[in-house]
């Protein structure tokens, strides 16, 4: 596995980028830029679908955090005893996955069942992450998924994670809230949100549930 933060530039590990070959660095830069454009376009359409104030979405992602993870899953003679990635939802807003081989491995959870996602050539799989579920106040649901290994074939994939600005406060979009549509998630500084998420083990959507507002709880306070 190879993991790197690509945007914003000030978050990059410059030493790591300097060690990349020129061809790989140029390819990574181009791919990162184009996937960012795609992510922002998708988020814009999602905001329209919600009838959300377009400026709210633009402000949240004006300097969005983006990272790329390259995954290699070798063949495993006993795949039933191994899991590539435990069930979880992603902490980001959108995950854009490019599957480089025709080996199945990604599975999504739907109505309690695990559904395999068949790789399609020259196509992306786009998963909604927890940030989008929070911003949309639960209208768009983040996708719980897992990765399995294959007994005979290797699997390669490139996952790009696109998230909101690190200095923003994450919570349901104000333009979506009202007397009859109260916030169902607490607001939390984005940097704190990520620190808490990555301090926990992967466990379904457990962290998102920690941010859910219980009946009668104050839904206006920002989690410090």
In the structure, what pLDDT confidence band is assigned to residue 222 with cuts at 50, 70 and 90? low
pLDDT tens digits, 188-212: 999 999 999 999 888 889 999 999 9
Backbone angles phi, psi at 90, to 5 degrees: -80, 150
pTM for the whole structure: 0.91
Highest mean pLDDT among 84-93, 120-129, 196-205: 120-129
SS3 of 124-147: the string is: EEEEECHHHHHHCCCCCCCCCEEE
Strand order in the sheet with 2-7: 2-7, 65-73, 155-163, 94-99, 124-128
Give the number of other Cβ atoms within 10 Å of residue 8's Cβ.
14
Q: In terms of CATH architecture, what is 2-168?
A: Sandwich (2.60)
- Domain coordinates in residue numbering, the chain: 2-168
Taking the C-alpha atoms of residue 111 and residue 146, their distance in angstroms, rounded to an integer, is 15
Whether 81 contacts 60, CB under 8 Å: no
Q: Taking all residues of the chain, what is their mean pLDDT, rounded to a whole number?
A: 91
Whether 98 contacts 157, CB under 8 Å: yes
Nearest CA-CA partner of 222 in 196, 174, 191, 187? 187
């Amino acid at each position: 596995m190879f993991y790197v933060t690509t945007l914003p530039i000030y978050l990059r590990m410059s030493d790591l980028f300097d060690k990349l070959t020129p061809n790989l660095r140029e390819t990574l830069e181009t791919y990162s830029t184009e996937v960012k454009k795609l992510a922002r376009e998708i988020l814009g359409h999602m905001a329209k679908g919600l009838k959300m104030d377009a400026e709210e979405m633009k402000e949240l992602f004006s300097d969005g955090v983006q990272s790329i993870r390259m995954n290699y899953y070798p063949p495993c003679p006993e795949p039933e005893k191994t899991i590539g990635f435990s069930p979880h939802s992603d902490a980001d807003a959108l995950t854009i996955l490019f599957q480089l081989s025709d080996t199945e491995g990604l599975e999504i959870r739907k109505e309690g069942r695990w559904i395999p996602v068949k790789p399609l050539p020259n196509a992306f799989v786009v998963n909604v992450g927890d940030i989008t579920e929070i911003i949309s106040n639960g209208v768009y649901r983040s996708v719980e998924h897992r990765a399995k290994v294959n007994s005979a074939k290797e699997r390669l994939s490139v996952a790009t994670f696109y998230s909101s600005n690190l200095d923003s406060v994450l919570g349901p979009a104000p333009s979506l809230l009202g007397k009859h549509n109260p916030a169902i998630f607490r607001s939390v500084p984005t940097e704190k949100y990520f620190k808490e998420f990555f301090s926990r083990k992967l466990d379904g959507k457990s962290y998102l549930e920690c941010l859910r507002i219980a009946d009668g709880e104050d839904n206006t306070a920002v989690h410090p």
